[in-house]
Amino acid sequence: HAKEQGRNNMQYFTAALNAAAGERMSLERELRLATEQEQFELHYQPQVATGAPPDARPCAVEALLRWHHPQRGQISPARFIPIAEETGLIETIGAWVLDEACRSFAQWKAAGIGPRRVAVNLSAHQLRSPALVERVEAVMRRHGLADGELELEITESVAMDDPAAAIEKLQALRRLGVTLAIDDFGTGYSSLAYLKRLPIQILKLDREFVRDIETDPNDAAISAATLTLAHSLGLEVVAEGVETAAQRDFLAAHGCDKLQGYLFGRPQPAEHWLEIWQGGNQPGAERPRHPA
Ligand code: C2E
Ligand code: MG
Ligand code: MG
Ligand code: MG
């Protein structure tokens, strides 16, 4: 009986594994098509200065990639970015993201509206690419971005991959006038000694700590300590995933510089923000809200 059970489990697992592998292969194939068929779009989410009035322009926006699959609908970047990474497709996709984000930013800038900076996420593969620095330089020149107008976000583990090489790459980006942020801070495993060596300007406190900041004393302690640490290293802190007024108030009381989260706006397409910043539509007015 037990043996039978074992065999059934085995068959079940094998079937599940095959299904997962098949699913992955079709996603991979479809991802390849997506780049050719322009199924990608960028959404932008505001970062606001702590304590700024509700109608203030955001200081920055973060570009977040969206994939509108013709049959499956929206697929989360958390799902497809890892596949794009492993297949190297991120090279093409990432180049498109960079160009598109800078193009939108240049339009807002030309219209005299919008944020002072646009932030783009970089994956491990992109940071390792020998073409990165030249590509960033070319895209900034193409769209006329000045010093401080482009921010690149990398995660701790990306920077930890090959620290010496990462530091060199990041220094070259700094020389182009790029602002550098560590994304999802606190979820990786970087040592403080190492962090000090990175030529970064911004720490993004992960949503993980912000979520229960008012109820979980550990999260409150980690957030407060991160703020103190970052500030003593001369870094600015942006809190991610701020959804409630209570979270905002806690972060404000602890000197967090900037806030990002649904409380201040969900990621939305460029046209949405164009309308808002041109004053045509107020946030919260009745218009369809795109899901994050
Ligand atoms: P991330 O860079 O940490 O981006 C923040 C994520 O948190 C986004 O998820 C955003 O929609 C979500 N978020 C923002 N505010 C809130 C909030 O108040 N509550 C909650 N629950 N979530 C909030 P998204 O857009 O699904 O992206 C997931 C991750 O995928 C990103 O995390 C980033 O690591 C990666 N990603 C997205 N776009 C790109 C891209 O163009 N290139 C690369 N390499 N990675 C990207
Ligand atoms: Mg990010
Ligand atoms: Mg993040
Ligand atoms: Mg994250």
Using CB atoms within 10 A of its CB, is residue 274 exposed (0-12), middle (13-18) or buried (19+)? middle
pLDDT for residue 191: 67
Distance (angstroms) between ligand 1 centre and the Cα of 138 equals 25
The protein residue whose alpha carbon is closest to atom 42 in ligand 1 is: 121
Distance CA 1, CA 151 (A): 61
Pocket-testing residue among 44, 93, 121, 259, ligand 1, by greatest number of atoms within 8 A of Cβ: 121
Tokens for 106, please give them. 């240049």
Task: Spell out the per-residue pLDDT of the chain, length 292, in tens.
Answer: 767 777 777 777 787 777 788 888 889 999 999 988 889 999 999 999 999 987 889 999 999 999 999 999 999 999 999 999 999 999 999 999 999 999 999 999 999 999 999 999 999 999 999 999 999 999 999 999 999 999 999 988 887 778 889 999 999 999 999 999 999 998 877 666 778 889 999 999 999 999 999 999 999 999 999 999 999 999 999 999 999 999 999 999 999 999 999 999 999 999 999 999 988 544 444 444 444 4
ipTM score of complex: 0.98
- The dihedral region occupied by 22, where left means phi > 0, alpha psi between -120 and 50, and beta the remainder, is alpha
pLDDT for residue 10: 73
